[in-house]
Structure 1
Amino acid sequence: MENKGYNYIWYPLTNFVEIPSNDFKFSVAEIFSPYTELNLDAMNEVKSNLESQKNNILEVNPFIRFGEIFYELLNPDKYKFDKKLRESVFNILIHFLGELDLYLGQNKKDIIIKEMVKNIEKGAFGEKIKEDFKIFREYEKVIIADGLYCMYNYLDMLESFKKVFKYIFPDSIIYDRLTSETNIVIYLNYKNNKINQLKVNFIKEMFLPLGLEIDLFWEKHFGVIGVDITMRIGEIAIF
């Protein structure tokens, strides 16, 4: 994913980063760019520091959009705040402004999808689905809820299945009914481990139309005559 467009204070608060907001603090950067709010290098340090229990500080430039607020707050000649109090107030305000960014940037679909994720986590689709849903990362949960939303509103089940499958397993190929009208062939360039199997089974259960079956090929692609990359000795799966 490119960094362009993801250098705002709302980015660390999204599901795509998967860092709980209580695990980091916002701080005024000593050296900052006049064009970006968020120090992305600092965010990478936060990710790597989570396991080592280090202090996780995200450096920001608050003056790009919120100069009127922070010129006053951070002016040492105007307000004689204790340093720790000033840092705490700054952190709280940036968290609040970041959450406000997210709220104002949402549309009706975004809100519905968030509620769908919560409902699945609460067991609206049954206890088994609730438990299996836990294996997915936060952004993957959003992808699944988005697929359900699309399926309920304008996509048929098969197209919804393909959409979700490709987003969860981007390095995969879906071949429609190569063997019969009731089978779909899928190649996944992923390890055939328990987690991936559970994810595939979950997507099948939620989206695959009744009567359709999947022929899965993990890691090794089946040979296709005329396509040299699939015809390497020792790297071919038997169809």
Structure 2
Amino acid sequence: MGLNYIWDLLIRAEQCGLDKKDIQFSAASVYSPYMELSLEHMNASHVEKQVEINPFYRFDEMFRGMLDINYTEYPEFRGALFDILIHFLGEIDLLQGMNKREFYIRFVRRDIEAGIFGDKVRRNFQKCGKEEQDIVAASVLQTVQTGDALFTLKRTARLLFPGSTIYANCEEKNELLFYINQEESESGRAKISLLLDLLLPVRFHTELYWNRHFGILGVEETMRLDRIAMY
């Protein structure tokens, strides 16, 4: 699917890991009256750093005077101002589609990235992808709102590690057993460390099992030879 609007392009840029400030907008000299972005290929889905805009598609009253063809003075200043204004309008576009919960999630992300939760959390958060960061921030918010950290921890772990299972042993001791259905890796360790630092109740301690499940009597999938972890 192609890119059609400023907000569409900014969202795609963020998904691709491209900083929005690296995109430079300019007014197109040739454009379609039916599209906001003036792209070389109509159905282009990738993001270029130099983007031409049809400013009259939605913002005719704002740019009519600035881009009057009879006014040719200060081209560099007008170009820089145009870029700033389009970035500003793009941010307004993005915010208009957000509800209160999404604002709160942004605040949590900002606090984590600022090191409010500690430098270790900040470093591990930076190792996660954009969607993973949103999941973690939303989980922190949910914990604050509901107070149920244990439920949120289990749910978040399943989202970040599909196919994984968490067992709670609360009869003999407050213990959580994590079976992570993937090979142990640096990124995996960073994500699980992030979850435990942010969501693990203080009274619990944990055991991690990567890609090898501990044996459970009666559960055939966990009793395979050479695939059983010791508990």
| Bigger radius of gyration | 2
CA contact (8 A) 2:164 2:180 kept: yes
Q: Which residue of 1 aligns with 2:92?
A: 100
CA–CA distance in structure 2, aligned partners of residues 91 and 126 of structure 1? 36
CA–CA distance in structure 1, aligned partners of residues 96 and 128 of structure 2? 27
**Cα deviation code 1:99-150 (max 9, x no counterpart):** 2223444443333332322322333223332343332345533332221111
Change (3 A) 1:139 1:80: same
CA contact (8 A) 1:43 1:58 kept: no
Alignment of 1:46-195 (within 5 A): 46=48, 56-77=49-70, 79-154=71-146, 156-169=148-161, 172-177=162-167, 182-189=175-182, 192-195=184-187
CA contact (8 A) 1:161 1:207 kept: yes
Moved more, 180-189 or 36-45: 36-45
Instruction: Indicate whether 1:201 and 2:193 are aligned.
Output: yes
CA–CA distance in structure 2, aligned partners of residues 22 and 57 of structure 1? 11
CA contact (8 A) 1:34 1:64 kept: yes
Deviation at 1:156, TM superposition (A): 1.9
The one-letter code matched in structure 2 to 1:97 is L
The one-letter code matched in structure 1 to 2:7 is W
The one-letter code matched in structure 1 to 2:34 is P
CA contact (8 A) 1:162 1:174 kept: no
Cα RMSD, aligned residues only: 4.0
**Cα deviation code 1:60-103 (max 9, x no counterpart):** 343332233234433314x3345444432321211111122234
* Runs of 5+ consecutive residues of structure 2 not aligned to the other structure: none
Q: Which residue of 1 aligns with 2:46?
A: 44
* TM-score normalised to structure 1 length: 0.67
3-state SS of 1:147 partner? helix
CA–CA distance in structure 2, aligned partners of residues 175 and 211 of structure 1? 17
* Runs of 5+ consecutive residues of structure 1 not aligned to the other structure: 47-55
Question: Identity, % of aligned pairs?
Answer: 28
3-state SS of 1:63 partner? coil
CA–CA distance in structure 2, aligned partners of residues 80 and 136 of structure 1? 47
CA contact (8 A) 1:9 1:38 kept: no
Alignment of 1:8-27 (within 5 A): 8-13=5-10, 16-27=15-26
CA contact (8 A) 2:154 2:166 kept: no
CA contact (8 A) 1:185 1:214 kept: yes
CA contact (8 A) 1:33 1:61 kept: yes
CA–CA distance in structure 2, aligned partners of residues 27 and 43 of structure 1? 19
